[in-house]
Chains A and B, each alone.
Chain A
Amino acid sequence: MDPIVKIRDLDKSFGKLHVLKKINLDVFPGDVLVLCGPSGAGKSTLIRCITMLENFQSGFIEVFNKNVKGSKENLKYIRKNSGMVFQHFNLFPHLTVMQNVTLAQIHSKNMAKQEAIENAKMQLDQVGLSSKYDAYPDQLSGGQKQRVAIARALAMNPKIMLFDEPTSALDPEMIKEVLDVMIRLAKEGMTMIIVTHEMGFAREVANKIGFLDKGELLELSSSQEFFTNPKSARTKDFLSKIL
């Protein structure tokens, strides 16, 4: 079975700051990979490189067997078939919830408007927001906004979902509602890469865990292995601090 995401010797610097050092990583269909590590380790940068929201200096990344730097068509295909959920939601403030979820379906996937609306309704119902079709983002709570963001990404029918610290900007009481949605997604078999600090969530849902520190992928193992038998000293140190 071919990995959905193939990362080889990925190296990235912001000017003099070397943020990713020779990262090697495979993500297979059905994997739920959690990337964790201290702040500034490069986790967000790594996940953003996968769809070229950040450029990188060397190494290569293949998604769906297409090189992300191969051609514009490659990148278009990759972006249309992967979903991204951001820490700060990035909902379109001038559009209603319904319009947020249908926009890309209509204008990126060229779906018919009615079909897009039906699909949007289904996605919004599944994240528990059926009463909010016509609301504007600034009328929603943080947890509701993030659920809309997830529905917006899922409406594109992606083969893989990428989450960049989806709950870091939420008040504590709203984190659960978003994590619940993500747990359901994982159980349904969606391939997911999640950057998060929520280790309890990781233990429940991830099958693979990667630990990054100072730009290096120090540990990549099954979830069980990671928690019971971490190999690197820094991993052990990190785990002892947060668990």
Chain B
Amino acid sequence: MLDFRLIGQYLPDFLSALWMTVQISLLSGIISLILGTVLGILSLLEYKVINVPIKLFNGFIRSSPLLVQLYLVHYGLPALGILLVAFQSAIIAFSLNTGSYISEIVRGGLNSIDKGQYEASKALGLSWNKTMLKVILPQVFKRILPPLISQFSYLIKDTSLAAVLAIPEITYMARSISSTTYKPIESYGVPMIMYFIIYIIFSVASKIILNAQKRTVKENSGNLMGKKRAV
């Protein structure tokens, strides 16, 4: 059966790999969230000067493989004089990639807000900043929470590509331990389980949030009946 002694022996390595994955994911996640939100809000302004570069950026990110983007950052930026270590390249590449997807999610969320919200805020004399901060963005984030969680789940899987730059995260460690111990089931099994548990946690979290949202919509639907809907 499974060589549990071996697993125990290498547990520190597995855990440090897990920690590396978590670090990369958290760091990239936070940066991409900020980047995505900023880009998403900017694209709402509908200035061609801002929108065209953002559209080009998003088109580029979505149409090319993450691996190529990683190589462009890690090998390409040094050619422009920016020296990077592997960890930095990974963070930059993942942040840009996920940031682009998040900007689309945020933009979708912003577009889904009824125009009446802006009108009411204006009528109440709220500045644009206050409107966004106190009225619009809170609603947007509630709505986009499920797709954001899915996106973060994808990010964690994406971090496995960091192995390509010899960063000791889960996937790299799996390969490394497997070639040392000649025991693929344990060496790949534990990492697979780790990824799977993370995946399940995110799936369940997403479902719980979706159900909670459905319940509040049902409770509120009486109030929504009279509101005017933007065409």
Do the two chains touch directly in the complex (Cβ atoms below 8 Å apart)?
Answer: no
